[in-house]
Chain A
Amino acid sequence: MLLSILPQVLVDGLTLGFMYAVVALGYTMVYGILEFINFAHGEIFMVGAFVGTEVLLITDAIGGLEGMNPYVALLMTLVITMILTGALGVGIERLAYRPLRGAPRLVPLISAIGVSFLLQDIVRFAEAIARNEFYLNTPVLFTGTVSVFGIATIPIKGLVVIVLAIVLMIALTLFIGKTKWGIAMRAVAQDPSTASLMTINVDKVIMLTFLIGSSLGGATGVLFAQNYGTIDPYIGFILGMKAFTAAVLGGIGNLRGAMVGGVLLGMLESLAGAYMGPLTNQAFGAEYKDVFAFSILILVLLFKPEGLFGEAVKEKV
């Protein structure tokens, strides 16, 4: 019985893992350039989920969703959400982080925690005023399931998540690897002061990093809302923590690491959720799956702080 659910558990884990991976990219990009944990990134994901849901709800209310191809609807939602959350990320950087560049390391982190709480309540207020409640149900775009080799089923919405996540990751990899701006970003990540001597506008590169990271986070929010149906203003915290765990697991600052770490963490969590209960005779069940993810974070930081793909950094005096 335990083995028969394994393929299904893995497929679910894969969907979850790809979402972690895309959010983790946002953490890792910012960390790679500023060496700063953007605590508010999880909240940008949450805002993305709300913006996407609102776009769909409003389109539905004016009757636009009927007869529209679901893929077109999703694409439209994604584009609008990515633009808005990207702008939000840039705005946060400009107002709350940039003035603190060069301050002691904990000061921007404190500011980021503040931003994170602020965003949660702003979204809650906005929804409370607009809809008188802050739990939203997303209009379902995709129904039906696909069978995977006859041993597991994957809902089409899950498949959409995986495919879109892969597309976004490939696009990002190409952008960083091939374009002029991508090269500038890598240069700034390596050494900001030298990069600025090479006529790279460091401020612009940092803005671009926040733009891309935040729009990816927002896009994941849309996918999350599609996949789980119900959202509230507090979903960003726990998902953000897990995405951060994924980034650390893969080696923070490393894009490939974040992707692998995300998928790995999603799989592990799904496995833990399914098997911890039966294996411990229901003493420790699925309610401990968050504990499991946090424990992975702590273990990685203790024993392999550079992660799976990162380079160990020697501290310089």
Chain B
Amino acid sequence: MNDTQAPVAVLSKVEKSYQLDAVSVPVIRGVDVLIRPAHFTVLLGPSGSGKTTLLNMLGCIDRPDVGNVMVAGNDVNAMTDDELSDFRAKHIGFIFQNFNLLPVLSAYENIEYPLVLAGASAKVRGDRVPKLLEAVGLTDKARNLPGQLSGGQRQRVAIARALARKPKLVIADEPTANLDSKTGAAILSLMRHMQQRHQISFVFSSHDRTVIGAADDTIFLKDGLIQAVRRKRHDPEGEPLLGAEADE
């Protein structure tokens, strides 16, 4: 994999405000972001810096007030709600801080659900889900409901669910925040492993600077503005990326 491939997501001059009673509070103030394909990108910054808002826009569950969002080569601003739903189902995986597994479905069924939504056949599901369960080390917990799993196990299921449809982009909002440091490190390691194995772009937010070491690209956010972008180059033969310099 090299950096010459088209970026998986591009945010151009994006602005976003939230209404707090009668006051409009700007959260993102005209930022440009480029997510490289098959890279591990971390959004870093203190609380309220706009990490989650940026992630939501990258994940196509929120729209900017101003600016464009291109994901997987598609202008998501122009999409209807249903088109966005289908787009998310096809191209984007989500990993949440609170795992957000469906409590009435077993680990197996939670992983299978995105495939069901996509209309995948029983054979395809039967092939893919056990492999994912094995990849996250939960083959023996396949029939367990989320309530019967530990936090780390739940997050493993969430990772497998996010990867079920082989998305181009996985959005992870503080995926280790609710885990102890050891489990968090393991989850981070697993995500890194899966990202490399499946060649998927991972973007996750954190305000923990210890995760920087795990990232290919790190975007520092503060008060809705990008303070710095640090990129590690995996492919020395690749061309410089648009809109970002290494160690800006």
A complexed with B? no
Q: Which residues of A contact B (CB under 8 A)?
A: none
